[in-house]
Structure formats: C-alpha cells, structure tokens
C-alpha cells in the first residue's frame, strides 16, 4: 500500500481471537514473500506456544503450493517446511478465497494494511535475481519509451506503435512498408528520389492513409473484400483480410512504378 508492504496473522481458539501480529516488510518485498513471511511467523508462534492440531489458513495459493512442493529450492521456504515437520504436533495448511468474508482472513488483511503505516521496518529482504532483472527491464523500457516519444523520427511508425514493447510484430516485405511509410509510397519516393509526391490517382498526396483508405484506384478491391473502414488504420492492420488487401495494393504500386 503506497509503495509499502505489510503482512499479518491472527490467532483464533474456538473462533475467538486470542492474539494478532503484524509486520512491516522492506519495500522491495513481493506480495508472495509477504504471504510466506506471515506463514513463517505463524509457524514460529505455534512452536513457541507449543500448540497442537493447528490449522494455518491462507488466501495465497502460490505460497501454499510452494510449501507443498517437493522441488522447492528456496531456503526460506524449505526452512518453514522443516519447522512444520519437526513440530511435535500436527500443523495443517488450508486455502480460502480472498475477499469472501472469511473472518480471520479479512482481519489479517486489515492488519497487513495497518502494518504498512508503521515507521519501523520489521524484516528486510535481499533483492532477488528475478527482481533485479525485472527492474532492469522496466528501466530499459522506460528509457526506450522516453526516447521514442521525444524522437522526431518515425512519425508514421508512431501512429501504429505509440508504446514500445518487446512483443514481436508480425510484418513482411509489404506490411513493413505501411508501418514505416517507406518503400513504394510516393511521400517516400519524393523525399529520397525526388519523384512526384502525388498519388497515381492524381487527387491527393500518396501517403499511407490515402492510398489504403481513400484512393479511388483501389475502391473496387475494398468493395469486393467488404472491408469496414470505420476503424483506425492501426486497428485495421490487425485484420487479416485487410492485410491481404494491403499486400495487393503495394504489389500493384510496385508494378505501376516499374512500368
């Protein structure tokens, strides 16, 4: 909460709250580790009080799965498992859905939020390799986005990809010319080869949007494909039928330029 992390657990005996514990954790602690730490402290309290036949109830399925796994390698989690096994009485783990009104679970959630308000941090966690990788990736993407936004280049491409992403873009020889405005389009040919900027139809500048959406030369093809052109070009390019139309248009433009 507000960049802070807390966790808590509540001790009930015969449905009566006997005690409660809350801890503020270092800000770099993940939600998963906060859940695990709460279980860790609960197990410690069970051992200190020498309680028997105890149920530890948690809404963190991932934490319970980790504690039940035979392949778990994290020392902290395996230490909890060792303490549970060596306890002289039975400790059971049970899962409940979050935010379903389970009294003890809701009470622990309230205390966890309260723990975030504490000034003193009760437990510090080292930054994991995964967290370092995640933060490095986040910073790299943020810097990339800033450079992309401020760059004066790629104005056509920005219309399609305003946000940077590591996701692979499906392109080819034809579609890539649309994404960049390069290649066969008259605006590009005029800029680099001093050719006419006018479209082959003679009615407008031969840029990407005019050629694909408005040029009368390709109106019959648009009609035959029954394309719905009320969507932005960025969304139309996700439709395979429209991508096929784009390939046809660019191939035709290539033939016109060659001839």
Q: Which residue has tokens 């909890």?
A: 80
Tell whether the model's pLDDT for residue 167 goes beyond 70.
yes
Distance CA 98, CA 222 (A): 52
Q: List all residues 6 or more positions away from 142 whose beta carbon is below 8 Å from its beta carbon.
A: none
Distance CA 46, CA 53 (A): 10
Reported as a single tens digit per residue, the pLDDT across 47-59 is 999 998 999 999 9
Residue 129 is predicted with a pLDDT of: 83
Quick one: pLDDT band at residue 238, thresholds 50, 70, 90?
confident
Reported as a single tens digit per residue, the pLDDT across 11-45 is 999 999 999 999 999 999 999 999 999 999 999 99
Asked if 166 and 134 count as a contact pair (C-beta separation under 8 A), the reply is no
Domains of the chain plus CATH, in order, are 5-126 (3.30.420.10), 170-258 (no CATH)
Residue 41 is predicted with a pLDDT of: 98
Reported as a single tens digit per residue, the pLDDT across 135-156 is 999 999 999 999 999 999 999 9
Residue 126 is predicted with a pLDDT of: 86
Alpha helix ranges (H) inside 151-199: 155-160, 175-180, 186-193
Distance CA 215, CA 202 (A): 9
pTM exceeding the 0.75 threshold for the entire prediction? no
């Amino acid at each position: 909460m507000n960049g802070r992390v807390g966790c808590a657990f509540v001790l009930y005996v015969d449905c009566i709250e006997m005690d409660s514990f809350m801890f503020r954790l270092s800000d770099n602690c993940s939600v998963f580790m906060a859940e695990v730490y709460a279980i860790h402290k609960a197990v410690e309290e069970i051992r200190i009080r020498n309680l028997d036949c105890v149920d530890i109830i948690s809404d963190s399925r991932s934490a319970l799965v980790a504690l039940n796994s035979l392949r778990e390698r994290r020392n902290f989690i395996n230490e909890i498992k060792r303490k549970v096994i060596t306890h002289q009485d039975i400790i059971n783990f049970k899962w409940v859905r979050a935010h379903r009104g389970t009294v003890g679970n809701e009470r622990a959630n309230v205390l966890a939020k309260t723990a975030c308000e504490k000034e003193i941090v009760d437990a510090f966690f080292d930054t994991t390799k995964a967290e370092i990788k995640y933060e490095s990736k986040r910073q790299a993407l943020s810097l990339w986005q800033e450079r992309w936004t401020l760059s004066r280049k790629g104005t056509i491409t920005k219309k399609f990809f305003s946000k940077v992403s590591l996701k692979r873009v499906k392109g080819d020889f034809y579609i890539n010319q649309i994404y960049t405005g390069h290649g066969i389009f008259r605006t590009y040919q005029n800029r680099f080869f001093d050719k006419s900027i006018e479209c082959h139809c003679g009615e407008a500048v031969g840029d990407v949007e005019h050629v694909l959406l408005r040029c009368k030369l390709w109106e019959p093809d648009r009609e035959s494909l029954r394309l719905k052109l009320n969507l932005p070009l960025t969304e139309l390019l996700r439709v395979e039928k429209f991508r096929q139309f784009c390939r046809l248009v660019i191939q035709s433009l290539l033939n016109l330029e060659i001839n």
